[in-house]
Structure 1
Amino acid sequence: MKLLLTGTAGFIGFHLAKRLLERGDEVIGLDCINDYYDINLKYSRLEITGIDRSKIEYGKFVQSTKYPNYRFIQLKLEDREAILNLFAQEKFDKVCNLAAQAGVRYSLQNPFTYIDSNINGFLNILEGCRYNGVKHLAYASSSSVYGLNETMPFSVHHNVDHPISLYAASKKSNELMAHTYSYLYGIPTTGLRFFTVYGPWGRPDMALFLFTKAILEDKPIDVYNNGNMQRDFTYIDDIVEGIVRVIDNPPRGNPEWTGANPDPGTSIAPYRVYNIGNSSPVRLMDFIEAIEEALGQKAIKNFLPLQAGDVPATWADVSDLEKDLGYKPNTDIRFGVKRFVEWYLTFMY
């Protein structure tokens, strides 16, 4: 198939691009390469897939030197004319939108960035799909949409109307926007609620990267909520496997759905939402211990209160993913952390 994959200079997009390319799909990769974090890491990911940094120019295609079925283009999602022209020219079979302004804490200081990219940009993706016969749109949502919900594990059939960060609100908005386009125009859409993704080539603003760097430099690590946090850490390979299965299986409408008792996770329209998580919450202190074990070095811990926008715990109910697509992530945290540390010591240290 011919697929538009946005966010290919990013952590998940980079790994997914490699997987799709290696199985023979034709991929157009897109990324704005913003400076939310070190752009050199983004360029390094692109170079792994054969995209020469020196040839990247805004709005121009770069042919991969490694994969004949891969072209990359630097574009902003909010660049409406360029995005709609790209759809009209390339006529994609499917789209996977992973590009977004990420980060819960960053949204507290830079709210307008989230509206530009995650709302206006996503609308451009939807409009591109609407007018160009796209057969399936899969897109990144986030576990952060669960917000103040305390019912564990988090289920896609739970109400998620109480986000506690603008980032989370933008992701919930994406799900609402996608449903509208699925209902009005029959576009199959699937939202992917990722749970704390980690692994090699990960984002430097995430805890694993920050903790590893600080421990190696004998600097203290900030441990929020005094360590009383749990996260459903999900290894990157498991995330990619889940996305590929979703892309290959466009949703159909749920014939049992009713407006008298509406199910938030499905619809009469061709719309679905899935959690992709390890379904095994890890205590933050156990996570830190796994990093210490992999590094052979103890952390200096700076205990702090819960930060604004953070939730104390996440836990994914993946029963729908398992039932519909026959898949359940299962990578052990110690294995995943060890793989990350091996990569970090090779490429970053």
Structure 2
Amino acid sequence: MSIDFHLGRPAAGARIVVAMSGGVDSSVVAVLAAKTGAEVIGVTLQLYDHGEAVRRSGSCCAGQDIYDAKTVCDRLGIAHYVLDYESRFRTGVIDRFADEYAMGRTPVPCSMCNQGVKFTDLIGFARDLGADCLATGHYVRRVEREGRIEMWKGRDPSRDQSYFLYGTTADQLAYLRFPLGDLPKSETRRLAEEAGLIVANKPDSQDICFVPDGDYASLVKRLRPETAAPGEIVHVDGRVLGSHEGVVHFTIGQRRGIEVGGQPEPLYVVRIDPEQRQLVVGPRSALAVASALVEGINWLAEDQREVSAKVRSLARPVDGSWDGERLTFANPEYGVAPGQSAVFYEGDRLLGGGTIVETEAAAMREAEAA
């Protein structure tokens, strides 16, 4: 199988840098790049110190992954570099992740990482090497149409990663290549097996690579101990229902772990007030959101008023309108939280996105209208 990397010149004189996490996706990208006849260089980020990395088996950019990436490069006969970005990753992603939780928000660390070390810094490194492009294993499509370059969802909806890449700039997109955007994961694994790669059957890494056991609360408590302070559980009507063992254990929309009894209906986390150490809970109807204030907008396409928006990576896009500051949902949306990304689409085409900083309850809007 051959993929056109759109190098703009004969491959024999071109250079492709491949961002290699040590997983099957980026390894297959290196295989496809090598088949073009261009010089290929694999680059892996070391995001943890050596001792920590060795213990993080199964997470992205850990010790085993670096070894796997090097083994793939050796098999393909291409150069492999390891860049120590542990300090940048800690301050740009992990510390920001902890800070967001300390403010009662729900962060999206994969978007932070892609907008920082994985794109900004890697693209800079690739350009310093004189590369014609940087290729990654993301499942999105780079489409050249009518004289411009656009980002589209991955062809396989179960693998699409465009939600996490809304912060990509037009200049970055012009330099990036996504060879897997048209493939299902099954085909990627078949290509890995065909190439005899040791990672052909390697499990996918978890989304939050620095929380490989899924216990994000322990990490946040260690970095921001104040989030573990106990406080009150308060109903949206003002009643104090009980107590909790730290706001770090909760996110908006959560139902499990709210240990108060004798309530006539299930309760959900509606709001988190870290300063007062209060967990505000209510019925599911209290989660309904009419609109969201969105900041830090990045547009890859034209600024549109009528959009299809996703506020969670696995959610279906919903209809909404954009006025330049606020996303208003055509119908109330549930589980929308400050800190999440709001990403705008037109069909499969990614328009842009930003960070939700404030939400407007549907009940409040209805009360004002009445």
TM over 0.5: no
Q: Kindly indicate whether structure 1 or structure 2 has the higher relative contact order, using CA contacts under 8 Å at least 6 residues apart.
A: 1
The structure whose residues are more often strand, as a share, is 2
**Highest Rg: 1 or 2?**
2
- Please give the TM-score of this superposition, normalised by the length of structure 2: 0.30
- Please give the TM-score of this superposition, normalised by the length of structure 1: 0.32
